[in-house]
Every structure is written in C-alpha cells, then in structure tokens.
Structure 1
C-alpha cells in the first residue's frame, strides 16, 4: 500500500494515478519524412511517491518484436515549480535517460530536454494532455534544428483498465 500523500503536494499528475491499458503509436523512422506508424498495446500503472511530490509509472510495452518493461520517474521541485521526468528502459537498465523538465498549464504539460541521438544534438519534448479528452494522452517529439521544428514520433493513449 502506498504511503499517504502530503496535504500540500501537487496534483498535476493525479489524472494518471492508477492502472491503464495503453494504445501506443510509434513513428517507423526518425527525421526521414516518414508517415508510417507502428501500433502496439501495453499496460501501465502509476502510483504516488515522495509524499505526492513524485510518482512512478511502471510500463509493459508489447512491441511487435517482443515485450519490454520500463518506468517513468517523476519528481516535483517546489522551488522551481517544475516537474522532472526520467525514463528507465529495462532493455538498458544501467542508464536513465536525460530528464525532461517542465510544467502544466490549463491541463497540458510540456517538458523539454537537450539530448543526443546517434551523436547528433536533439531537443526532446514530452506533452501530456490531461484534460482535453476522456483518456489522457502523451506525445514525444524530437527536434534536430534547436526547436524550430518538431517531429512527433511516439503517441500514447491511456484507457482505464
């Protein structure tokens, strides 16, 4: 059983607490003008941590080539008013991805990071849509031109389990 959240803890990610069936769509090729997507399913369960100032999302991704496990770790900075989100993929368990950092505005959370992909600098953007539809949605986009243009490459829709 999770420990009780503190009374003043942030509520931005309360919409995702619980268990979900997930519909994934992933772009087949990055930065190649690709328009083909691969769809697959998954499961997700999120619980609060850090007295409500964080949460952990446990994921089962059912890729066409086989299942994989991963977690998202989120923590809130009261000093900055921002969330940091890390991704840990079970296929590479010794490395946390560079955290994306951001916040919510009117039910939409936008988070950014500078990273590299195959030695090339990229910007990463996560967008959470928590109140715009019945089912929460998440999107990931990359930019290879410093954020002037973005290519969405992964979409997830969360359906109550």
Structure 2
C-alpha cells in the first residue's frame, strides 16, 4: 500500500472506533461518581489543535516512591474539524506504545479522554471527562487503588506554540489534596 492508502485506512479505523465510543461515552458521563470534580462545560472543536504534530517528551513518573525519568515521542492528529484528537505515544527504549483518543461531546461541551495500551489493544474504560478553562485543561476520573476509591486528574497547561505540559495527580481524600505521580514536558519536534 502507498502512504495515502495507509493514511486513509488509519483514518477509517479511528472513525469507526470513535463512532462506537460516542454512544458509550455519553452513557459514561451520566454515571460519574459525585467524588470526581464536575467538569466545566466549555469544550469546543479545536481545543486540542495545539497538540497536533510531532513531539519529543521528557517524562518523570513516580514509581515505588522514586522518580523514574525517560524519553518518549508522540504524533497527534486532529480530525472531524477538531472534534477528535488522536495521539500515538511511543516509548522506544521500553518497547511501549499507546493511543490517547480525545472526543468532544459537542452537545455537552465536554471532552472524553480515552486510553488504549498498545500491548493489549484494549480501550481502558471509563474515560476521564473535562475541558479547558483559562488555558488549562483538567480531566478527572474515579478509579480505585487497593480497593479504595481515588480521583485521578490529568491536566494540560503551560501551552505555547512549541511546548506544553501534561501531568497526572491522585487524590485519596475526595479532592482535598493531590499527589503528582507523572509529569510530561512536551517539545515540538
């Protein structure tokens, strides 16, 4: 296949996945536990356009009480007029890849953020829901750790034409306090 054919096949695959998720995503929003901080409905097409392109990423991830540092790279594409953003994350030194899929629920003005691990190929439910307010995007999701409820927050900030930051933090006390456990500094390649 030539590159144009491969790109068209990839686009169709993403669109089929997105169509299936749209229905599930709307239902998931209705089941968000009260513990997660309710997102502000400010989402609009193009919110993730800043992320389109190719990136080099410096990661710091808290693992077993110590910070692990490593490099990664990503390619991001906006489709459907900025209503969907597809990210392919690659960590070559660790033989790892994954896909971030962000989809705007246009009616609710909220973004769903999904993750697919490249090793399993399985969509990790449920999505985190969020939006951007004053240049900072916040996504919260309810999860469990050792059978105890936690809130996991992902944040996009420090956005410029050539860089941005994403970080993740966890709250074990319904959002009163947060502990960062992953920071990614993105630089346009």
Q: TM-score, normalised by structure 1?
A: 0.83
Does the CA-based 8 Å contact 2:45-2:81 persist in structure 1?
A: no
Q: After TM superposition, list the pairs within 5 Å mapping 1:118-133 onto structure 2.
A: 118-131=146-159
Q: Structure 1, unaligned stretches of length 5 or more?
A: 4-8
Aligned to 1:12: 47
Q: After TM superposition, list the pairs within 5 Å mapping 1:64-79 onto structure 2.
A: 66-79=94-107
Larger of the two Rg values belongs to structure: 2
Whole-angstrom CA distance in 2 between matches of 1:51 and 1:134: 22
Q: Residues 132 and 15 of structure 1: is their aligned pair in 2 closer, same or farther, counting only changes over 3 Å?
A: closer
2:82 aligned with 1:47, yes or no?
no
Aligned to 1:25: 60
The total of aligned residue pairs comes to 149
Q: Residues 95 and 13 of structure 1: is their aligned pair in 2 closer, same or farther, counting only changes over 3 Å?
A: closer
Does the CA-based 8 Å contact 2:48-2:78 persist in structure 1?
A: no
Whole-angstrom CA distance in 2 between matches of 1:133 and 1:50: 22
Per-residue CA distance 1:6-51 (angstroms, 9 max, x = gap)? xxx612111110000111110123xxxx3x3111001100001233
Does the CA-based 8 Å contact 1:57-1:72 persist in structure 2?
A: yes
Q: TM-score, normalised by structure 2?
A: 0.71
Q: Structure 2, unaligned stretches of length 5 or more?
A: 1-6, 12-43
Per-residue CA distance 1:101-152 (angstroms, 9 max, x = gap)? 1110111001111112332211110100153695110001111221111111
Does the CA-based 8 Å contact 1:140-1:154 persist in structure 2?
A: yes
Does the CA-based 8 Å contact 1:88-1:97 persist in structure 2?
A: no
Aligned counterpart for 1:83 among listed residues 93, 100, 111: 111
2:127 aligned with 1:99, yes or no?
yes
Aligned to 1:6: none
Give the strand-richer structure, 1 or 2.
1
- TM-fit CA distance, 1:69: 0.6
RMSD: 2.1
